[in-house]
Amino acid sequence: MEPKAPTADAKKEPPETTEGRWIHESVLAYIKIPSFDEPEFQKSAIEFLRKFQNAKTLIIDVRGNGGGGTPSDLIRSLMDRP
Q: Where are the domains of the chain?
A: 19-72
For the entire predicted model, the pTM comes to: 0.79
Q: What is the pLDDT of residue 50?
A: 97
C-alpha distance from residue 8 to each of 11, 31, 78, 80 (Å): 8, 31, 37, 42
Total count of residues recorded for the chain: 82
pLDDT, residue 47, reads 98
From the CB of residue 20, how many other CB atoms can be counted at a distance below 10 Å? Answer: 20
Residue 45: which H helix or E strand, with range?
helix 39-51
1, amino acid identity: M
- The three-class DSSP label of residue 56 is coil
Q: Which phi and psi angles does 29 have, rounded to 5°?
A: -120, 155
Please list the ranges in the chain whose pLDDT falls under 70: 1-15
